[in-house]
């Protein structure tokens, strides 16, 4: 049983965490280089929020949104 858990440890430490080790070492050389992935994720989230808000406005302008308080049965 000990070998099973050591195998899981080896999988994560030796293989799956290597990209994070690379970023950790890169941070000592270049903060911007290490945080590029974070900036990419923030850009993707900002685009998704913009698209979502645009769709909300579009549905509101088309009067497709049901704003009646009894729209859900538990609010009656």
d(CA 8, CA 14): 10
If phi > 0 it is left, if psi is from -120 to 50 it is alpha, else beta; for residue 63 that is: left
Give yes or no for a contact between 27 and 34, defined as CB atoms under 8 angstroms apart. Answer: yes
For range 45-72, the mean pLDDT: 85
Q: Quote the pLDDT of residue 60.
A: 87
For range 23-50, the mean pLDDT: 92
Least confident of 4-8, 16-20, 41-45: 16-20
Q: Quote the pLDDT of residue 27.
A: 86
């Amino acid at each position: 049983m000990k070998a099973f858990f050591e195998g899981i440890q080896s999988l994560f430490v030796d293989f799956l965490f290597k990209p994070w080790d690379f970023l950790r070492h890169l941070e000592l050389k270049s903060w911007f280089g290490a945080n590029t992935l974070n900036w990419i994720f923030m850009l993707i989230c900002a685009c998704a929020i913009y698209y979502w808000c645009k769709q909300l406005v579009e549905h509101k302008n088309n009067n497709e949104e049901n704003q009646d308080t009894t729209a859900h049965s538990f609010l009656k």
